[in-house]
Amino acid sequence: MTRTKLRENIFLMLFRKDFYDDEALKEQLKLFDEEIKGASEEDHEYICKKASEIIEKADEIDKQIDEKADKWSTSRMGKVELTILRLAYYEMKYDDDVPVSVAINEAVELAKKFGGDTSSSFVNGVLAKLTDEE
């Protein structure tokens, strides 16, 4: 499975986070993992591990997003955009295998695919502010 496809599956898995409590989320993640088509066992492990790590750090990530997103808070953001921002921020800050420019580009592409008309520019703008903090 390509990195882009892996990332898309991580996004789809993470998207469930804000709709379920912790116990139900575990079941949802398990069900989603079983439905991923064309993934090797290694791909399944990668997707589940990365999604779990992002969920564990979600409060910390949201705090950083809240600090940089002018006039927006994570509680007001669309779930698609918020999920993409969480994934991209995680990759930018915690995943040494993903260059920052790749994380941003892939996030913008996810926003184009899954978000609304202005999602990609919103995601790009917030991520640009998050990279300014370095």
Rounded to an integer, the average pLDDT of 102-113 is 96
On the question of pLDDT at 113 being above 90, the answer is yes
Domain tally for the chain?
1
CA–CA distance, 118 with 122 (Å, rounded to integer): 6
The CA distances from residue 133 to 63, 92, 110, in Å, are 13, 12, 23
pTM of the model: 0.90
Give me the pLDDT at residue 21, please.
83
Give me the pLDDT at residue 17, please.
84
81 vs 70: which has the higher pLDDT:
81
67 vs 25: which has the higher pLDDT:
67
On the question of pLDDT at 45 being above 70, the answer is yes
What is the domain range of residue 43? 3-132
CA–CA distance, 5 with 39 (Å, rounded to integer): 10
Average pLDDT in the chain = 90
Decide if 58 contacts 86 (C-beta within 8 A). yes
Name the pLDDT band for 131 (thresholds 50, 70, 90). confident
Percent with pLDDT over 70 in the chain? 99
CA nearest 51: which of 21, 79, 10?
A: 10
Rounded to an integer, the average pLDDT of 42-69 is 92
Give me the pLDDT at residue 26, please.
80
Residue 37's CATH number: 1.10.940.10
Give me the pLDDT at residue 133, please.
54
CA–CA distance, 22 with 49 (Å, rounded to integer): 16
SS3 at position 73: coil
